[in-house]
Structure 1
Amino acid sequence: MPDRRTLLALPLLLAPRMARAQEAFPARPIAVYSGYAPGGVTDVTSRAVAERMSRELGVPVVVENRVGGATAVANTAAAQARPDGHTLLMGTSSLAINPGLQPNLTPREPMRELAPIGMVFRSAFVLHIHPSLPATTTVELIAWCRANPGRLNFGSSGTGAVNHLSLALFAQRAGIEVTHVPYRGGAPALIDLRAGRIGAMFQAVLEALPALQDGATRGLAISAAVREPLLPEIPPVADTLPGFDAVFWQGLFAPAGTPAPVLARLGTALRAATEDADLRARLAQQGVALTTGDAAALADLLARETALWGRLIREADIKPD
């Protein structure tokens, strides 16, 4: 059995070995799991940020699409990976939504099972309506809905999607009753909005832009608390409903237990990517505003949105399809 002096000296003996291990990071390519299919804005952004991070870290940073279970396949695989910084997760708003909407999905406690690294982007929705509706402002739309409870068919890309929850939050805060019409994605919903088969929806700015530009729909408000650079003339919902802020976001996570120096190194590389002027300009053309935010900012966002969406899901009795 080691004597007392040996036990006391053990941390000093191990410290150089631990430091060398941390200095060696990264020792091999880094995998970044994504719960979304290739080709979409989330995937394009993930790959662009990963490529920029690879230049900082000196090893390939490779995005792996692990689709399924409302992103739970990717989320769980990352949470259960070895916590050495070589397996990461491009987590999204689903981490805040799934615990309230589908509590059987894992990880059940993302704030405990994942370690935040930093923010990647926030993406707003535009509230746009069919021109047949007699409203040119958010105030007028709310007034029409109050006078015609339940008559407005309000589309979304699916039950539990962020734009659906944005609608539910809007209806709750405005004190109106609308009819939710879920679709399997934003594209089929937009087809019906153009045709007037539904009257309104919150939609990703880039997806809605062509319809707004050709006059097929009318933009009333932006779901974020600030104006959208691609649609600077459209005011935020918050101008009418103070405090309203509903966006889709993406942030980088590692498995819980990843050493702090490794998280810091990853955070530095991520910040270099999100602050890269060329990358920011390129992604801005696709409606993505890269957001620089440290681990604390991401942890705070996840905590706030988990509480917000969880409460809304309970109060509005939202059930998964």
Structure 2
Amino acid sequence: MPIPRRTALTLLALAAASAPALAQDSKYPSKPVTLVVPQVAGGANDAIARIVAQKLSETLGQQFIVDNRPGAGGNIGTAATARAKADGYTLLLTADSAYVINPALYKSTGFDPLKDFEPVGTVASSGYVVVANNHFAPNNIAELITAAKAAPGKINIASAGNGTVNHLFGEMLGKAAGIDMTHVPYKGASAAVTDLVGGTVQVSVQSLPSSIAFIKGGKLKVLAVVNEKRIAALPDVPTVGETVKNLGYTPWYGVFAPAGTPKAIVAQLQAAIGQVLEAPDVREKLAGIGCEPLKIGPEPLAALIRKELPRWAKVVKEADVTLD
């Protein structure tokens, strides 16, 4: 049965009216994209974000601008991104610690990690290490444990601050190995590393981006790798888990969009990030700061977050740490 002329004209008019919107969606991104980093410039997350942002700009033909919004352990920038318009033009690139540990550390973070964001995917994993100053006698984790048992509370372990991954993994190590070390919190990783090099403190858990220059320069020695598996940057250094069974942690960095961002945009971003992480220059730059590309898509990342939240809540509770 033929369509009446009036109905046909109406359908054509509706199609014409919707055409510009469809064309606009297909052109994403049509303007610069803000990539919020909820930590200060110069840290591991910032370094990773700038490597990824530069390549995304080349890949998608629009500038990806890194916007550092530090404060409250990452809560300020994360919460601000959660409230941004869900159009793909404001994204979050954050360390897992600020995303899955903060909800257990703070009474209110200003965001819900499960409800306020659409996971896009991970971009990198970072090497983490147990490092010591060169005057400290132990050269590996077994020797550190022996020294700590011989002198309970006498070894100082520095961190980037209360509730940081550095601090919490030190607590995990102490509990798993049955040792007591004195935690010395600093205001940031750089201050902790400076005093570690100077001999004010003996040992620390640090990310490779914050310590690799001192390791390569011979100013710090590595006792073990914190990650579950040995890392490419230090292939001959054993993991903590090779001495203390079932103890390990591999930090990841991921991209998130505000909840409600169109699935097509999330998929396009995920595909672009996957392409970026295959680029030889990106892999080389990440390796230079002790990181490796890590590709986990939206659904597996969401599942990982659901698994990590209760895990870290337990660690925080056992360490009796709150930051409000």
The two structures have a TM-score, normalised by structure 1, of 0.87
From 249, 254, 259, the equivalent of 2:252 is 249
- 1:200 match: 203
- 1:168 match: 171
Q: What is the CA distance between 1:22 and its match in structure 2?
A: 3.4
Query: The residue matched to 2:52 in structure 1 has which SS?
Result: helix
Unaligned ranges ≥5, structure 2: 1-6
Moved more, 211-220 or 97-106: 211-220
Distance change >3 Å, CA 32–CA 206, structure 1 → 2:
closer
Query: Identity across aligned pairs (percent)?
Result: 32
For the pair 1:221 / 2:253, whether they are aligned, the reply is no
Query: The residue matched to 1:128 in structure 2 has which SS?
Result: strand
Instruction: Give the AA of the match of 1:154.
Output: I
Within 1, Cα distance between the matches of 2:32 and 2:135?
A: 54
Query: The residue matched to 2:283 in structure 1 has which SS?
Result: helix
Moved more, 144-153 or 79-88: 144-153
- 2:105 match: 101
Q: CA RMSD in A?
A: 2.5
Query: The residue matched to 2:114 in structure 1 has which SS?
Result: helix
- 2:301 match: 298
For the pair 1:28 / 2:31, whether they are aligned, the reply is yes
Q: What is the CA distance between 1:88 and its match in structure 2?
A: 0.7
Unaligned ranges ≥5, structure 1: 1-5
Q: What is the CA distance between 1:176 and its match in structure 2?
A: 1.7
Moved more, 205-214 or 77-86: 205-214
From 311, 314, 321, the equivalent of 1:311 is 314
For the pair 1:78 / 2:81, whether they are aligned, the reply is yes
Contact kept? 1:127, 1:219, Cα under 8 Å: yes
Query: The residue matched to 2:101 in structure 1 has which SS?
Result: helix
From 254, 258, 263, the equivalent of 2:261 is 258
Q: What is the CA distance between 1:82 and its match in structure 2?
A: 1.5
Within 2, Cα distance between the matches of 1:130 and 1:262?
A: 47
Contact kept? 2:45, 2:95, Cα under 8 Å: no
Q: What is the CA distance between 1:160 and its match in structure 2?
A: 1.3
Q: What is the CA distance between 1:69 and its match in structure 2?
A: 2.2
Instruction: Give the AA of the match of 2:260.
Output: G
Q: What is the CA distance between 1:210 and its match in structure 2?
A: 4.5
- 1:87 match: 90
Distance change >3 Å, CA 220–CA 304, structure 1 → 2:
same
Within 2, Cα distance between the matches of 1:56 and 1:211?
A: 34
- 2:290 match: 287
- 2:63 match: 60
Q: What is the CA distance between 1:236 and its match in structure 2?
A: 0.7
Deviations 1:226-277 (A, max 9, x none): 2222222210111122332224321000011112111101111111111211
Contact kept? 2:37, 2:66, Cα under 8 Å: yes
Moved more, 66-75 or 219-228: 66-75
Query: The residue matched to 1:112 in structure 2 has which SS?
Result: coil
- 2:236 match: 233
Instruction: Give the AA of the match of 1:224.
Output: N
Q: What is the CA distance between 1:29 and its match in structure 2?
A: 2.0
Contact kept? 1:115, 1:258, Cα under 8 Å: yes
- 2:43 match: 40
The two structures have a TM-score, normalised by structure 2, of 0.87
Deviations 1:301-321 (A, max 9, x none): 322332222111111101328
Moved more, 122-131 or 173-182: 122-131
Query: The residue matched to 1:111 in structure 2 has which SS?
Result: coil
Count of equivalent residues: 310
Within 1, Cα distance between the matches of 2:200 and 2:126?
A: 26
